[in-house]
Amino acid sequence: MHIVSASRRTDIPAFYSRWFMNRIRAGGVKAVSPFGGRVFEVSLAREEVIAIVFWTKNAAPILADLEDLASLGYSFSFLYTINNYPDFVEPYVPSMRHTMKTVEALARRFSPGVFRWRYDTIILTDTLGSAWHLRNFEGLCRLLSLYTDECIFSFCDYYKKTIRNMDRLVPTHQIPSEAQCGQIAGEMSEVAARWGITLASCAHDFLVSGSITKARCIDPDFLSQVVNSPEKAGALRALKAAPSRKQCGCVASRDIGAYDTCLHGCVYCYANTDRERAVVNQAKISEDSDCLDPRGAMAGR
């Protein structure tokens, strides 16, 4: 049995919900390794899937399918990134009004274990400094404390393509020192505590302290709230640590997404070379494709 990650590499609920449900009904999906390009198959058979972890900034397009997904016997949870950035950082992410309506709909229908909040990725610019983040974060804590008692956060990891895109799209961006990150994180922790929320640092262990825990985004303890059988609970407990990058705290999962396919256009994105390439790639993927990566996609027969 395995956990399905859907997906660190793209936003499947926002842009590929029909495709995803077609693959669920087909019982399997192909994925392409971002390192080497090997194509491999991932079973989506109900008896093989412990739980599905959705990573998203907009779950609205998949809301109508969640009842069917649950009735088919699948357990699932959402890692929901809510940053409330201005358009020059997240140009195609829905408004906070839209986001809160979606979060409320999830909370009304499903257990608290369905929703986890990510404040990620934290970037600094000439107008988005520490004071801006603390005001913004407090406003989000006020809204989201009704639905969660945890926030997973991280600062930007400056990969080569991230730096290239940030230099091009946000020339006033600033790369903070570890000391600056520590100060901001500490102040965020104080804000979160006022709203009954704890902070968990994703892949930045230097920020872990008494008030800030180490995040596990694919987290068996959290998912134990949603799995629907003793067998799956046992399989969950047996999963080994499988970090996706240095200092990642996640256990093993099978990711079914593809890089260069997300259309949110976030300037800090590590998964897209640029939005233009993502638009081109999306056009190559039909709802009946068996893979989100154009290199591995074949139209369903």
Q: Indicate the length of the chain as a whole number.
A: 301
Residue 56 domain-assigned (yes or no): yes
Domain interval for residue 223:
2-283
Given this model, what pLDDT does residue 112 score? 76
Cα distances (Å, whole numbers) of residue 223 to 61, 97, 118, 198, 273: 23, 28, 16, 18, 32
Q: Give the H or E element holding residue 130.
A: helix 130-144
What stretches of 23-81 adopt beta strand conformation (E)? 28-32, 39-43, 49-56, 76-81
Given this model, what pLDDT does residue 296 score? 81
Q: How far apart are CA 252 and CA 248, in angstroms?
A: 11
Q: Do 51 and 107 touch, CB atoms closer than 8 A? A: no
Number of structural domains, the chain? 1
Residue 222 domain-assigned (yes or no): yes
Summarize pLDDT for 190-229 with one digit per residue, the tens.
999 999 999 999 999 999 998 999 999 999 999 999 998 9
Q: Do 278 and 292 touch, CB atoms closer than 8 A? A: no
Residue 297 domain-assigned (yes or no): no
Q: Which residues pair with 117 in a beta bridge?
A: 80, 151
Residue 18 domain-assigned (yes or no): yes
Residue 296 domain-assigned (yes or no): no
Name the stretches of the chain with pLDDT < 70.
Answer: 298-301
Given this model, what pLDDT does residue 37 score? 87
Residue 289 domain-assigned (yes or no): no
Given this model, what pLDDT does residue 299 score? 38
Q: How far apart are CA 17 and CA 279, in angstroms?
A: 16
Q: How far apart are CA 26 and CA 270, in angstroms?
A: 30
Q: How far apart are CA 209 and CA 201, in angstroms?
A: 10
Residue 221 domain-assigned (yes or no): yes
Summarize pLDDT for 41-55 with one digit per residue, the tens.
999 999 999 999 999
Residue 54 domain-assigned (yes or no): yes
